[in-house]
Amino acid sequence: MDERIQMPLIGDKAPAFKAVTTQGEISFPEDYKGKWVILFSHPADFTPVCTTEFMTFASMIEEFKSLNTELIGLSVDSLYSHIAWLRKIQELEWKGMKNVEVTFPLIEDIRMEVATKYGMIQPGASNTQAVRAVFVIDPEGIVRTILYYPLSTGRNFQEIKRIILALQKADSDNVATPADWQPGDDTIVPTAGSCGTAKERMESNDDDMYCLDWFLCFKKG
């Protein structure tokens, strides 16, 4: 039987690794203490969907840095292939993006060691390419979000950014975020843990909070 490695789940410690990248060697999570991290994989260099994704991520790098968030890419190609591909990306123009320089690290993972630790190699899709995985890892090195896309589907980068914003909001204010939440929208307060608290909330005249029912109360944005 094939040996199967359990991918990390939400709430788990993100697996540690050392890797060679286009920005030099990195040690994770030591080099990223106190930072949010988006660790993402792509199937291969010089592929069309991946090229549009890298152009998009690179063009948004300052937006993520403003959120204390670092980007780390990965594919099972060689370092030299990575370098050649990233240089080619600088020559392309798409959706108004041009002269795009990818300054975040792109991991060389020819032996698929990191990809295997994170469950990025899925035989049903490919034995030789990583699927489009996204791991959002918090400043404590805990996996907070996992997204998987098939090889044919490019990622929604505004949604990835929204996830960071929502997680940071939840952590800072002890709230949850409702469907389609955007910064400035109302948030959800933790469900009442007793009959007394539920009654108080339903009868409250608090200007900053309102309830649709005892289990669904909102804090104004």
Catalytic residue list: 50
Quote the CA–CA distance of 47 and 220 in Å, as a whole number.
45
The sign of the CA dihedral 196, 202, 205, 211 is positive
Helix (H, G, I), strand (E, B) or coil at 74: strand
Among residues 141, 187, 125, which one has the least CA distance to residue 133? 125
| 220 contacts: CB under 8 Å, gap ≥ 6 | 186, 207, 208, 209, 210
Query: Any idea which residue has 């993006």 for tokens?
Result: 97
Quote the CA–CA distance of 120 and 107 in Å, as a whole number.
13
Strands (E), 6-68: 17-21, 24-28, 36-41
Helices (H) and strands (E) in the chain, counts: 6, 12
